[in-house]
């Protein structure tokens, strides 16, 4: 099977022009066919503030109300996605920006409003790989915004790590797939050191001991679930290290 | 040659949910392969006002400064484009939203700053039809936002009528192409009546007599230029009449 790398970067990297350029240069030097999945939450939050949209929070979690959905559709699907695509074109890399609505690549279901109504949030139903495969086979790089759609004419907000994990899993039927969840740190940290290999047993231990918390837990859960769904390699690494064979925290079963 | 219809709608139709739905229902009933090109200026202007961006005008013409470019990239490429794509998917029409940067479909050149510096405005260099043709051949409907790119990492603002006319002209090498420039009126009006057929001679006469003014002049110029470049049929018609064989003002040479 041909290889493919699914590489995810978050809003904090995109938000910093220098970090974004560092990442994109490393990204285009990856020789294998590749898919880029981006976030953009910090940029959307700032745009929401500028538009006077009050963050709507329940139990400390953000709710995607109708106004917020408009902002993230603009920011993720327009501002961030097209900026990345234009910059990749300037690096002689033929990119195509996509949301989950485009070519019906990621149909989703609006999350059940019980017990908490998160609003216009989409839980992925499936990933249609037909066009993704066609793009990859013809050297066009899919650049995916963290947006899905409900099939009834509405866009939905879907976490970028979740999209990356689902896309990598879906592509695993036809490709030897690698998933890289990239961020600003060198990997999963414990006592100031990168944990170079993490399996489920070590993950549970570090979680129970409180060494792994918050944002890292859903990332690791998604990474392990991708491994289980047939993704060959999963790592959590620095945005600058995407072209390296081995870097950051490698997940094993 | 296979037929293709390139259909353009403006911001005033998109801005009105009912008009947009009327248009989209008519659009999906068009049996031939088709491309949709959309504007969105009125929505972008409103978003600019909400963001406190002062319109930068020279000689009554809007300048696309850096802040305005961000707004139109968000609004055209994100908000408007994804809204239309999601609605088309809900009508069982597999659409793909594209800017000129995606797949390098429309490379452009930033307009010469002399005599007037219009800012981040792009004059189309070419239209790459390879992927457009592939989408059309596989029943995926391209939905084009009025954005191009300069190849140096920057998006550019390009008039939607111009994009529609250029795309129709470029597709004419491989398709029997029809261009429809749609708006809220029934066609080009003269003394309260639709002018059902317009050739260059009549156009010059009506322009000289002051019956055709302002926004209609560039539209007609683009329409006649498309005819000259090999587009088989060009009409200016109502957004509700796109599925009709003959409607509005038909341009002839």
Query: What pairing do the DSSP bridges indicate for beta strands A175-183 and A57-58?
Result: unpaired
User: What is the tens place of the pLDDT at every residue in A1-27?
Assistant: 999 999 999 989 999 999 999 999 999
The answer to whether the CB atoms of B85 and A97 lie below 8 A apart is no
Q: Which of B78, B89, B96 sits opposite A149 (nearest CB)?
A: B89
User: Does the pLDDT of residue B59 top 80, yes or no?
Assistant: no
User: Does the pLDDT of residue B191 top 80, yes or no?
Assistant: yes
The answer to whether the CB atoms of B101 and A78 lie below 8 A apart is no
A203-221: average pLDDT: 92
Tokens matching residue A19: 């970090």
Tokens matching residue A182: 């990239």
Closest CA to A233 of A189, A188, A176: A176
Tokens matching residue A225: 């679930």
The answer to whether the CB atoms of B89 and A81 lie below 8 A apart is no
B198-217: average pLDDT: 93
Instruction: Inform me whether the C-beta atom of residue B27 falls under 8 Å from chain A C-beta atoms.
Output: no
User: Does the pLDDT of residue B73 top 90, yes or no?
Assistant: yes
Helices (H) and strands (E) in chain A — how many of each?
9, 16
For residue B200, the cross-strand partners are: none
Average predicted confidence (pLDDT) for chain B? 95
A97-103: average pLDDT: 98
User: Does the pLDDT of residue B30 top 90, yes or no?
Assistant: yes
Question: Given this model, what pLDDT does residue A136 score?
Answer: 98
B229-240: average pLDDT: 97
Closest CA to B223 of B186, B187, B175, B180: B180
Q: How many domains does chain A have?
A: 1
For residue B119, the cross-strand partners are: B64
Q: Which of B75, B86, B104 sits opposite A149 (nearest CB)?
A: B86
A249-253: average pLDDT: 96
Determine the Cα–Cα distance for residues B72 and B156; give it in Å rounded to an integer.
Answer: 9
B221-238: average pLDDT: 97
User: What is the tens place of the pLDDT at every residue in A142-155?
Assistant: 999 999 999 999 99
Determine the Cα–Cα distance for residues B193 and B198; give it in Å rounded to an integer.
Answer: 13
- A57 pLDDT band, cuts 50/70/90, is confident
- B215 pLDDT band, cuts 50/70/90, is confident
Q: Which residue has the higher pLDDT, A179 or A214?
A: A179
Coil, strand or helix: which one is A122? Answer: strand
Instruction: Inform me whether the C-beta atom of residue B58 falls under 8 Å from chain A C-beta atoms.
Output: no
A45-50: average pLDDT: 94
The answer to whether the CB atoms of A103 and B81 lie below 8 A apart is no
Q: C-alpha distances in angstroms, B202 versus A110, B43, B211?
A: 55, 34, 11
Choose from A71, A78, A149 for mutation: most chain B CBs within 10 A: A78
CB count within 10 Å of CB B20 equals 20
Report the percentage of chain A scoring pLDDT > 70. 100
- B57 pLDDT band, cuts 50/70/90, is confident
The answer to whether the CB atoms of A83 and B155 lie below 8 A apart is yes
Tokens matching residue B35: 């491309």
User: What is the tens place of the pLDDT at every residue in B121-145?
Assistant: 999 999 999 999 999 999 999 999 9
User: What is the tens place of the pLDDT at every residue in A119-143?
Assistant: 999 999 999 999 999 999 999 999 9
Choose from A82, A107, A128, A158 for mutation: most chain B CBs within 10 A: A82
Q: C-alpha distances in angstroms, B222 versus A123, B41, B129, B226?
A: 44, 18, 19, 6
The answer to whether the CB atoms of A153 and B87 lie below 8 A apart is yes
B26-53: average pLDDT: 95
Coil, strand or helix: which one is B23? Answer: helix
User: Does the pLDDT of residue B60 top 90, yes or no?
Assistant: no
Which residues, 6+ apart, have CB-to-CB distance to A201 below 8 Å?
Answer: none
Contacts of A101 in chain B (CB under 8 A): 82, 85-86, 89, 95, 97
Q: Which of A90, A94, A102 sits opposite B96 (nearest CB)?
A: A102
Closest CA to A233 of A146, A171, A184: A171
Domain of residue B141, residue span: 2-251
User: Does the pLDDT of residue A59 top 80, yes or no?
Assistant: no
Contacts of A94 in chain B (CB under 8 A): 103-104
User: Does the pLDDT of residue A67 top 90, yes or no?
Assistant: yes
Report the percentage of chain A scoring pLDDT > 90. 92
Contacts of A86 in chain B (CB under 8 A): 101, 149-150, 153-155
User: Does the pLDDT of residue A30 top 80, yes or no?
Assistant: yes
CATH of the domain at A78: 3.40.1160.10
A109 near A149, Cβ under 8 Å?
Answer: no
The answer to whether the CB atoms of A73 and B78 lie below 8 A apart is yes
Determine the Cα–Cα distance for residues A100 and A104; give it in Å rounded to an integer.
Answer: 6
User: Does the pLDDT of residue A82 top 90, yes or no?
Assistant: yes
User: Does the pLDDT of residue B86 top 80, yes or no?
Assistant: yes
Determine the Cα–Cα distance for residues A122 and A139; give it in Å rounded to an integer.
Answer: 29
- A213 pLDDT band, cuts 50/70/90, is confident
The answer to whether the CB atoms of B153 and A81 lie below 8 A apart is no
User: Does the pLDDT of residue A60 top 80, yes or no?
Assistant: no
Count CA atoms closer than 13 A to A156's CA, side-chain side. 27
Q: Which residue has the higher pLDDT, A59 or B88?
A: B88
The interface residues of chain A toward chain B in range 116-145, judged by CB-CB distance below 8 A, are: 131, 140
Determine the Cα–Cα distance for residues B157 and B119; give it in Å rounded to an integer.
Answer: 9
User: Does the pLDDT of residue B61 top 80, yes or no?
Assistant: no
B193-200: average pLDDT: 97
Question: Given this model, what pLDDT does residue B213 score?
Answer: 82
Give the ipTM of the model, two decimals please: 0.96
CB count within 10 Å of CB A200 equals 14
B32-53: average pLDDT: 95
The answer to whether the CB atoms of A149 and B50 lie below 8 A apart is no
DSSP string, A156-225: EE--HHHHHHHHHHHHTTTEEEEEEEEESSSSSEETTEE--EE-HHHHHHHHHTTSS-TTHHHHHHHHHH
B175 near B1, Cβ under 8 Å?
Answer: yes
- B62 pLDDT band, cuts 50/70/90, is confident
- A103 pLDDT band, cuts 50/70/90, is very high
Q: What is the pTM of this model?
A: 0.97
Of A5-19, A72-86, B38-52, B54-68, which gets the smallest average pLDDT?
B54-68
Determine the Cα–Cα distance for residues B198 and B87; give it in Å rounded to an integer.
Answer: 34
A8 — alpha (psi -120 to 50), left (phi > 0) or beta? beta
Question: Given this model, what pLDDT does residue A222 score?
Answer: 97
Determine the Cα–Cα distance for residues A5 and A44; give it in Å rounded to an integer.
Answer: 26
- B58 pLDDT band, cuts 50/70/90, is confident
- Minimal C-alpha gap between A79 and chain B (Å): 5
- B55 pLDDT band, cuts 50/70/90, is confident
């Amino acid at each position: 099977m041909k290889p493919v790398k699914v590489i995810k970067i978050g809003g904090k990297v995109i938000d910093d022009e220098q970090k974004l350029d560092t990442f994109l240069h490393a990204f285009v030097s990856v020789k294998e066919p590749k898919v880029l999945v981006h976030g953009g939450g910090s940029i959307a939050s700032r745009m929401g503030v500028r538009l006077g949209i009050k963050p709507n929070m329940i139990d400390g979690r953000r709710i995607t109300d109708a106004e917020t959905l408009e902002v993230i559709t603009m920011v993720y699907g327009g501002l961030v996605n097209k900026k990345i695509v234009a910059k990749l074109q300037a690096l002689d890399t033929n990119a195509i920006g996509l949301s989950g609505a485009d070519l019906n690549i990621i149909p989703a279901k609006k999350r059940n409003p019980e017990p908490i109504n998160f609003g216009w949030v989409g839980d992925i139903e499936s990933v249609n790989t037909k066009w993704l495969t066609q793009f990859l086979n013809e050297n066009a790089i899919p650049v995916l915004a963290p947006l899905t759609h409900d099939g009834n004419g509405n866009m939905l907000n879907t976490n970028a790590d979740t999209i990356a994990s689902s896309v990598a899993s879906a592509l695993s039927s036809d490709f030897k797939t690698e998933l890289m969840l990239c961020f600003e740190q060198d990997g999963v940290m414990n006592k100031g050191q990168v944990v170079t290999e993490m399996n489920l047993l070590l993950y549970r231990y570090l979680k129970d001991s409180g060494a792994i918390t918050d944002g890292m837990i859903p990332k690791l859960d998604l990474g392990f679930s991708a491994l289980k769904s047939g993704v060959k390699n999963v790592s959590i690494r620095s945005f600058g290290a995407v072209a390296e064979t081995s870097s950051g925290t490698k997940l094993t079963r």
